[in-house]
Amino acid sequence: MKRTQLPKSNRVLALAALTALLVSGCGPEYLVLNPAGPVAREELHLIELSTVLVLIVIIPVLALLAYIVWRYRDKPDNKAPYTPKWSESKALEVVWWGIPVVIVAVLGYYTGKSTFNLTEPPQKDVQPLTVQVTSLNWKWLFQYPGQNVATVNYVEIPVGVPIQFELTADAPMNSFWVPELGGQEYTMPGMAMRLWLEADKPGTYYGSGANFTGKGFAHMNFTVKAVSQDEFDQWVKQIKSNSPALTMTGYEQLKQPSVVGTMSYSSYPPGLFHDVVWADGGRYMPDMMNDMTGMQGQTADAAKPNGAATDTAKSPAGDTSSMPGMQMDGGQSAGH
């Protein structure tokens, strides 16, 4: 009889694993299942909805398989009907073309709705905070354009305030991921992308670079610390008075491949984020550049399409300006 137990034990194994997963999902180490903000919560709802929808198909399939293999096994004394030529049934086929179509339609609708929702700030009536994120080999640089402070490998945010993360890379492409606050978005050289996140309870959250970038990749973790607005303001004040400034030279050093701990800076070179994006390829996408500077409230940069080229000469992209044709390229692009 051992043979006939095959599909059952497979099913039991699979179901047990799935149940174990769902039950143990309550533990705090299951970051995705313990959202600490509206974005992660919306994503979790979609995860739950999709799980339920696929179970509508999975459970009958597993049950049918177990039943059929047991009932129609090839035994001399098996009395079950045997119809070797029966091979068509319009009614049955309509059922299993139809049910998946309905499931996909339902899930597709909610997926679309959620996808569009997540491009908007989680709350519209609270003034958002902008944090500019640059992934480097192998560390994270965070700049606060509103506060003019910067940090490395940790980021502090006020609770209950939508955070507009602007993402880029000055290194191979990575991905910015804070599971408890919401899903990830790529950081890419020459691109400035946006990700809305928000924390609605104070805490320290795990963040990581999710996209492989070479040797030091596994050490690219950072923490997100969500605190009250008052504590946040105090923290900014403290950094302003106690930490060194990030200079251009300092940025150049930071950019060198290495794994480092956390750092704080009381200021950073003006327009650094903009210039990095521009130098790494943003110059070829004037629309994106305009869009970015308009959004981030960097008044200094927003008004100087021609100034960008000059800026670059002394900015991190300065190393590229020694290449022939670089300056001219920039001038043309900025002139658009």
Partner 1 sequence: MPDALRQFADTYLMWQEGPMIWISDVLILLTSIGIVATLTYFKKWKWLWREWLTTVDHKKIGIMYLIAALLMMFRGGADGLLMRTQLAAPGMHFLDAEHYDQIFTTHGTIMILFMAMPFIFAMFNIVVPLQIGARDVAFPYLNAISFWLFFFGALLFNISFVFGGSPDAGWFSYPPLSELQFDPGPGENFYLLALQISGIGSIATGINFLATILKMRAPGMTLMRMPLFTWSVVAACIVIIFAFPALTVALALLMLDRIVGTHFFTILHGGNPMMYINLFWVWGHPEVYIVVLPAFGIFSEVVATFSRKRVFGYSSMVASLILISVISYFVWAHHFFTMGAGADVNTFFAVASMAVGIPTGVKVFNWLFTMYRGRIRLNLPMLWTIAFVPCFALGGATGIMLAAAPADYQYHNSYFLIAHFHQVLIGGVVFGMLAGMYYWWPKMFGFKLDERIGRWAFWFFNIGFYVCFMPQYALGFMGMQRRMYTYPADMGWGTLNFISTVGAYLMGIGFVLIVAQVLYSIKYGERDLTGDPWDGRTLEWSLPSPVPHYNFAVIPTVTDRDYWWKLKEEGRTDELKPKPEDIQPIHMPKNSGRPFIMGVLFFVAGLGFVFNWYVLAVLGLLGVVVTLLARSFEYDDEYYIQPEEVEHVEAALGRL
* Whole-angstrom distance, CA of residue 105 vs CA of residue 103: 5
* Binding flag, residue 313, partner 1 (CB under 8 A): no
Tell me which of 217, 236, 240, 270 binds partner 1, using CB under 8 A: 217
Residues 185 and 119: their CA atoms lie apart, in Å, by 12
Per CB under 8 A, 295 contacts partner 1: no
Site stretch for partner 1 (CB under 8 A), options 155-163, 167-175, 233-241, 293-301? 167-175
Q: Which of 232, 239, 247, 241 is nearest to 264 (CA)?
A: 239
Q: Is 173 in the site for partner 1 (CB under 8 A)?
A: yes
Q: Which of residues 226-245 bind partner 1 (CB under 8 A)?
A: none
Of residues 38, 14, 241, 224, the one with CA closest to residue 124: 38
Q: Assign 89 to helix, strand or coil.
A: coil
C-alpha–C-alpha distance, residues 246 and 269, integer Å: 7
Q: How far is the CB of 13 from partner 1 (least distance, A)?
A: 5
**Cβ-based nearer residue to partner 1, 50 or 327:** 50
Site for partner 1 in 85-144 (CB under 8 A): 85-89, 92-93, 96-97, 100-101, 104, 107-108, 110-112, 114-119, 137
Q: Per this entry, what is the length of the chain?
A: 336
Q: Which of 46, 260, 263, 295 forms a contact with partner 1 (CB under 8 A)?
A: 46
Please report, for residues 157, 234, 266, the alpha-carbon distance to residue 230 in angstroms, rounded to integers and kept in the order given: 11, 6, 18
Is residue 204 within the footprint of partner 1 (CB under 8 A)? no
For tokens 């993402």, the residue is 167
Among 51, 238, 262, 332, binds partner 1 (CB under 8 A): 51
Segment contacting partner 1 (CB under 8 A): 46-54, 151-159, 239-247, 302-310?
A: 46-54
